[in-house]
Structure 1
Amino acid sequence: MHIRAGTERDPEPIVDINTTPLVDVLLVLLVMLIITIPIQLHSVNLEMPGTNSPPPSTPPEIVQIDVLPSGQFTWNGEALADRSVLEEKLRDAATRTEQPEIHLRPDRAARYDAVAAALSSAQRLGLTKIGLVGGEQFGP
């Protein structure tokens, strides 16, 4: 581009591009993009029982498994020798037509790996009615 040099009376013209309208258009496009993006919901779909479900005809059998601070397990108050005995009892419970409810009650001083071992054994063997009870002992 050839522009003649200005005189003292006439200033030189500015050859740079005006970026203000470009920035304005980009900001409008950015706002439109932010508005049109759908909100991402991080949720887990749960199948909750309906309000019209009938109560069970017989109360479910409840098995209480305690995890002691030493890492040992008890089955309804009966001390178990080791994890293999626990797995045998869980395997027997899993093969029943009506699985019992497993209430796992870890002691406050029990190690996490012992509790996780009991949960993983129950899950691996196919037990579906498992619950952690006694959580109030971990509160403030």
Structure 2
Amino acid sequence: MAMSVGDSGGSDAISDINTTPLVDVMLVLLIIFLIAVPVVIQTIDLQLPKVAFEITQTKPENVSLSVTGQGGQCKVYWGMTPVGHQELLDKAVAKLKSEIDKQGGPNAAGLELPEVHIRGDVNTPYRCIGGTIYTMQMAGFAKVGFISEPPAGSATVRQ
């Protein structure tokens, strides 16, 4: 096999570029990046909750609040009655105390505390809902949840 080094008699330069070293370097870099990227990316192993709507079982001892924010003013309703911030705190503390007393006091076995269910209007500013959550937690309620309207046919029941 003969290799063409150039025409000894002509003055034409060889214009063919040898791309083999370039391809070799690119393949080596590709392999390095394929190995290095999973090592560099650090993730925390989490098991995220599956999104499903549950039908809420309303108990008579649970507190139902509605929150709206009209004209920059936050309005909170305990059932159908509008309440202010301090009145909400006072009513919540009294409700929680009466439920604990009904069940035999704070040291009773199997104490089931009532929950707070908040219905917030779509256009309500977050500060209104956040303030309501904060007030109910200050009163001592441990479980505060939101009531929403799921799309039709998406409710599931856990067994």
Residue number in structure 2 paired with 1:84:
86
1:103-118 aligned within 5 A: 103-118=117-132
Q: Which runs of 5+ in 1 are unaligned?
A: 1-7, 12-17, 47-58
Residues 1:9 and 1:25: Cα distance change in structure 2 (over 3 Å): same
| Cα displacement (A) at 1:20 | 4.3
SS at match of 1:128: coil
| Cα displacement (A) at 1:102 | 0.8
| Cα displacement (A) at 1:83 | 0.7
**CA–CA distance in 2 between the matches of 1:137 and 1:86?**
28
Q: Which runs of 5+ in 2 are unaligned?
A: 1-6, 14-20, 50-58, 101-105, 107-111, 153-159
Residue number in structure 1 paired with 2:149:
136
| Cα displacement (A) at 1:138 | 10
**CA–CA distance in 2 between the matches of 1:117 and 1:20?**
62
Residue number in structure 1 paired with 2:67:
67
Which structure has the higher relative contact order (CA within 8 Å, separation 6+)?
2
Residue number in structure 2 paired with 1:22:
25
| Cα displacement (A) at 1:77 | 2.6
Aligned residue-pair number: 114
Sequence identity of aligned pairs in percent?
Answer: 20
Provide the TM-score with structure 2 as the length reference.
0.49
SS at match of 2:77: strand
AA of the residue aligned to 2:78:
W
Residues 1:26 and 1:137: Cα distance change in structure 2 (over 3 Å): closer
**CA–CA distance in 1 between the matches of 2:149 and 2:122?**
10
Report the aligned-residue RMSD.
4.0
